[in-house]
């Protein structure tokens, strides 16, 4: 990226088009490294795209609120709107410093389904959102969690992971294991967290993730998980 930042007369911005096959784990690993570089160098999501995503998100929220009002009453619809991640559009780079609060709000606003793919699960990471997961399960939403648990995992690692998996199942999650998986989440089929934040683990200070809305990518991610899980 160094050449992109060289100064030239009339140059006012640097725009990067980053293409990634989200269904290939190695591709996801390399993307996470690039995303950290983008965040560290002050890049932001294309504002034109962000504005479009804001409009789509507002329409989706209004539709969800109307559906909730019809089935559960106006008070439930008002509560749903109160869970919005205020000031954050779908198309943001989320950092490790504020991810938990934003993720909790997104889970609180979930109406139908939540899919989480996790390279590992820690007690600390699970404790950050387990109460929201429990409330989501009480609302009869479908919660699927895919956890990386390779056949070559050490005995101590397997014991620790199985303990946390049992905790997820006790909350009401459907948990499946896979030889490999990346860290991401799909909320209500279209709102996606993708990048380097371990959503059920312990993030490092420089970890970050892209939060955006794309139904087609959500479908591709979910299909890839189902093919690799047990």
Spatial contact of 226 and 147, defined as CB atoms under 8 Å apart: no
Q: How many other C-beta atoms can be found within 10 angstroms of the C-beta atom of residue 12?
A: 5
Is there a domain that residue 39 lies in? yes
Q: CATH number for the domain including 37?
A: 3.30.870.10
Where are the alpha helices (H) located in the chain, listed in sequence order? Answer: 25-40, 47-72, 74-82, 99-108, 123-127, 130-138, 155-171, 215-228
Is there a domain that residue 170 lies in? yes
For the chain, the domain total comes to 1
State residue 71's pLDDT score.
63
Is there a domain that residue 8 lies in? no
The confidence band for 155, taking pLDDT boundaries of 50, 70 and 90, is very high
Q: In angstroms, rounded to a whole number, what is the distance separating the alpha carbons of residues 215 and 212?
A: 10
| DSSP three-state, residue 189 | coil
Pairing of the two strands 142-148 and 113-118: parallel
3 state SS for 42-106? CCCCCHHHHHHHHHHHHHHHHHHHHHHHHHHCHHHHHHHHHCCCCCCCCCEEEECCCHHHHHHHH
State residue 64's pLDDT score.
55
Spatial contact of 186 and 192, defined as CB atoms under 8 Å apart: yes
Where in the sequence is the domain holding 96, given as residue range(s)?
22-228
- Computed over every residue of the chain, the mean pLDDT equals 82
The confidence band for 17, taking pLDDT boundaries of 50, 70 and 90, is confident
Spatial contact of 136 and 114, defined as CB atoms under 8 Å apart: yes
Q: Which one is predicted more confidently, 101 or 78?
A: 101
Nearest CA among 207, 200, 149 for reference residue 178: 149
Mean pLDDT within 124-130: 95
Spatial contact of 114 and 187, defined as CB atoms under 8 Å apart: yes
Is there a domain that residue 10 lies in? no
State residue 130's pLDDT score.
96
Is there a domain that residue 15 lies in? no
Q: Which one is predicted more confidently, 203 or 61?
A: 203
Q: In angstroms, rounded to a whole number, what is the distance separating the alpha carbons of residues 172 and 113?
A: 12
DSSP tag of 128: T
State residue 182's pLDDT score.
86
Mean pLDDT within 178-186: 90
The residues pairing with 114 across neighbouring beta strands, listed in sequence order, are 143, 187
The residues pairing with 40 across neighbouring beta strands, listed in sequence order, are none
Q: Does 135 have pLDDT greater than 50?
A: yes
pLDDT over 70 for what percent of the chain? 78
Give the tokens for residue 50. 């962000």
State residue 58's pLDDT score.
47
Which region among 18-22, 109-113, 159-163 has the lowest average model confidence (pLDDT)? 18-22
Q: Tens digits of per-residue pLDDT, 35-77?
A: 888 888 877 777 555 444 444 444 445 555 565 566 666 655 4
């Amino acid at each position: 990226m160094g050449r992109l930042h060289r100064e030239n007369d009339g140059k006012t911005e640097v725009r990067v088009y980053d293409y990634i096959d989200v269904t290939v784990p190695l591709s996801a690993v390399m993307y996470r490294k690039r995303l950290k570089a983008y965040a560290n160098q002050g890049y932001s999501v294309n504002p034109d795209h962000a504005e479009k995503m804001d409009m789509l998100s507002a329409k989706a929220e209004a539709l969800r609120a109307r559906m909730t009002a019809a089935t559960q009453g106006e008070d439930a619809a008002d509560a749903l709107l109160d869970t919005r991640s205020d000031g954050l559009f779908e198309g943001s780079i989320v950092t490790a410093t504020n991810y938990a609060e934003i993720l909790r709000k997104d889970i609180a606003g979930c109406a139908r389904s939540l899919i989480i793919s996790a390279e590992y699960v820690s007690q600390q990471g699970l404790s950050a959102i387990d109460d929201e997961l429990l409330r989501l399960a009480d609302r009869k939403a479908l919660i699927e969690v895919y956890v990386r648990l390779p056949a070559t995992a050490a005995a101590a690692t397997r014991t620790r992971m199985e303990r946390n998996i049992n905790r997820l199942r006790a909350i009401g999650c459907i948990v499946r294991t896979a030889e490999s998986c990346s860290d991401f989440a799909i909320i209500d089929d279209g709102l996606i967290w993708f990048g380097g934040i371990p959503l059920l683990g312990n993030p490092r200070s420089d970890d970050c993730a892209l939060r955006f809305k794309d139904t087609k990518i959500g479908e591709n991610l979910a299909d890839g998980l189902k093919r690799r899980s047990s």
